[in-house]
Amino acid sequence: MTILGHLINGARVDDAARTHDIFNPSTGEVGGQVSLASQATVEDAIAAAQAAFPAWRDTPPAKRARTLYRFKALLEQHADEICRLIGQEHGKIVHDAKGELARGIENVEYACGVPELLKGEYSKNVGPNIDSWSEFQPLGVVAGITPFNFPAMVPLWMYPMAIATGNTFVLKPSERDPTSTLYIAELALEAGLPAGVLNVVNGDKEAVDTLLDDARVQAVSFVGSTPIAETIYSRASANGKRCQALGGAKNHAVVMPDADMDNVVTSLTGAAFGSSGERCMALSVAVAVGDTAADALIAKMQAQMKTLRVGPFHDAENDFGPVITRAHQEKVCGYIDSAEQQGAEIVVDGRGVQVPGFENGFYVGGTLIDRVTPEMTCYLEEIFGPVLLVVRAGSMEEAMRLIDDHEYGNGTCLYTRDGEAARYFSDRIRVGMVGINVPLPVPVSYHSFGGWKRSLFGDLAAYGPDAVRFYSRRKTVTQRWPSAGVREGAQFAFPS
Ligand code: NAD
């Protein structure tokens, strides 16, 4: 069985003292193993990044960008293989993997504009014959720690911009589906990145803790679940590092009585069940305003869900694939059990779904649960599976209070035909990314991605303009060149 190693200083490195099984969730079989890096291996990667930094820092941004142009071309050229690897280890259907990769490539395209993005600020004559400017310098060695659900896209949120701004990078992908991530990093080297500029260490907590504690690492970008995000943020901050840690979500869609219900139903079906609900922007709660809207929504969703197809990743006829592991399948079904025990109504039940020929795969069918109330476990916690909860509210204000009171604040969406209501909602709601009749309001690469409340720890969001700031440090220089022979007396007050 192959054991996936690491990419350090431009070469594959094996360190297979500890390993982790990589499953093919569509079949339930083990497809390979990944090596879990020891502290020493991670330190080697940090040392390689540290050694590569001085030359990379001084490489002109336009030259750095040219490497990224070549990287983008290679990603497009190898898209089929990348998507096959994503599907095999993650389970998402191939067309979904293509969408993920396309959103990742967008971030490479944005990073290609780095000479423009790094242009500083300049003021002439801030005092007599004195000029001042602010420039944005790289930080040094930066680490990224990424989740299983977007093995291509989320790393591409991070290192193209970190590298474009002159940093060197150590990436720690999810140990559950690391092969596409490593394959993509090798394409970045093929595009011409010097050895050590981008390193990949596979691993678990030991690797992450080493990255968090090593003084040579200047900043940490993390994406994953909220409990881990919070721990990472505190530990990195306590160690004096800059940190952004994006966490989990519970994204509500408010369905107003005037919404076009047919449109709502098709839109919600894709946003709730696409990628098996394993997206941090998945819509997992529909808040129907008024019983008439709620009853119509339930009836139409029930009809629509009869056409849902769950099955293996390679069959493009399927709407979504398995969840990531057997343990996660059991966890998702456990949430459905708890909803039933706590008095909700299971309208469509995805527990125990069988996919002929793939009986050992980690499948959960699309599930619809009505009459969910805010104190239920299934409402409070992130399920991360193909489960849509319906909560009934009396008014838009009540729906908004529910959303505001939830600990997560990643994304939300309002379905309505009323522009005034939409404007009020998007202005007041305490959530970072808002859709109006748009179910998955994932910002494009030239905006930035980030939730509010316990969906993001840190001040700056991921990718886009915030990433330029996250991966660089402002320096302001004030300069004058006195004429020869001119001498000034000492000044004891600020010049004004
Ligand atoms: P996870 O938190 O289990 O793992 C994320 C990363 O942290 C992985 O690389 C993992 O190896 C590492 N890790 C796990 N346990 C650790 C520990 N105890 N100490 C140090 N590192 C540890 O998350 P996941 O299951 O891979 O991904 C799903 C989660 O990610 C969901 O909660 C989802 O909402 C969230 N997510 C958020 C966003 C966002 O942008 N906000 C995007 C994608 C996923």
Q: Give the tens place of pLDDT for each residue, 281-310.
A: 999 999 999 999 999 999 999 999 999 999
Please work out whether the CB of residue 143 comes within 6 Å of at least one atom of ligand 1: no
Q: Is the dihedral of CA 301, 306, 307, 308 positive or negative?
A: positive
Q: What is the pLDDT of residues 55-102, one digit of tens each?
A: 999 999 999 999 999 999 999 999 999 999 999 999 999 999 999 999
Please work out whether the CB of residue 410 comes within 6 Å of at least one atom of ligand 1: yes
Residue corresponding to tokens 């009809």: 303
Please work out whether the CB of residue 67 comes within 6 Å of at least one atom of ligand 1: no
Q: What is the pLDDT of residue 490?
A: 83
**Residue of 83, 112, 243, 280 marked catalytic:** 280
Superfamily of domain 251-436: Aldehyde Dehydrogenase; Chain A, domain 2 (3.40.309.10)
- pLDDT tier, 236 (very low <50, low <70, confident <90, very high otherwise): very high
Atom number, ligand 1, closest to the C-alpha of residue 224: 30
* CA 262 / ligand 1 centre spacing (Å): 35
Q: What is the pLDDT of residue 463?
A: 98
Please work out whether the CB of residue 214 comes within 6 Å of at least one atom of ligand 1: no
Superfamily of domain 3-247+455-477: Aldehyde Dehydrogenase; Chain A, domain 1 (3.40.605.10)
**CB distance 71 to 304 below 8 Å:** no
- pLDDT tier, 241 (very low <50, low <70, confident <90, very high otherwise): very high
Best CA proximity match to 169, nearest among 8, 4, 39: 8
- CA pair distance 281, 304, nearest whole angstrom: 21
- CA pair distance 66, 192, nearest whole angstrom: 9
* CA 222 / ligand 1 centre spacing (Å): 8
- pLDDT tier, 15 (very low <50, low <70, confident <90, very high otherwise): confident
pLDDT > 90? residue 483: no
pLDDT > 90? residue 453: yes
280 is a catalytic site residue: yes
* Average pLDDT over every residue of 26-44: 97
Please work out whether the CB of residue 382 comes within 6 Å of at least one atom of ligand 1: yes
Q: Are strands 367-370 and 411-415 parallel, antiparallel or unpaired?
A: unpaired
HSE-CB of 382 using CA atoms within 13 angstroms: 24
Counting ligand 1 atoms within 8 A of each CB, the residue from 35, 42, 149 with the most, and so the one to mutate, is 149
Q: Give nearest CA residue, ligand 1 atom 17.
A: 205
Q: What is the pLDDT of residues 173-215, one digit of tens each?
A: 999 999 999 999 999 999 999 999 999 999 999 999 999 999 9
- pLDDT tier, 120 (very low <50, low <70, confident <90, very high otherwise): very high
Q: How many residues are listed for the chain in this entry?
A: 496
* Average pLDDT over every residue of 224-243: 98
* Average pLDDT over every residue of 243-250: 98
pLDDT > 80? residue 258: yes
- pLDDT tier, 487 (very low <50, low <70, confident <90, very high otherwise): confident
- CA pair distance 389, 370, nearest whole angstrom: 6
Give the mean pLDDT of the chain: 97
- pLDDT tier, 16 (very low <50, low <70, confident <90, very high otherwise): confident
Maximum Cα–Cα distance for the chain, whole Å?
90
pLDDT > 80? residue 163: yes
Q: Give nearest CA residue, ligand 1 atom 31.
A: 225
**CB distance 141 to 218 below 8 Å:** yes
* Average pLDDT over every residue of 371-393: 98
Atom number, ligand 1, closest to the C-alpha of residue 449: 40
Residues of CATH 3.40.605.10 domain(s) within the chain? 3-247+455-477
Q: What is the pLDDT of residue 283?
A: 97
* CA 176 / ligand 1 centre spacing (Å): 11
Please work out whether the CB of residue 165 comes within 6 Å of at least one atom of ligand 1: no
Best CA proximity match to 129, nearest among 487, 483, 484: 483
Please work out whether the CB of residue 284 comes within 6 Å of at least one atom of ligand 1: no
- pLDDT tier, 319 (very low <50, low <70, confident <90, very high otherwise): very high
DSSP H helical ranges for 112-225: 114-117, 153-164, 179-190, 205-213
* CA 147 / ligand 1 centre spacing (Å): 4
- CA pair distance 118, 471, nearest whole angstrom: 11
Please work out whether the CB of residue 177 comes within 6 Å of at least one atom of ligand 1: no
- CA pair distance 314, 293, nearest whole angstrom: 37
- CA pair distance 478, 490, nearest whole angstrom: 18
* Average pLDDT over every residue of 258-265: 97
Residues of CATH 3.40.309.10 domain(s) within the chain? 251-436
- CA pair distance 492, 488, nearest whole angstrom: 12
Q: Give nearest CA residue, ligand 1 atom 6.
A: 147
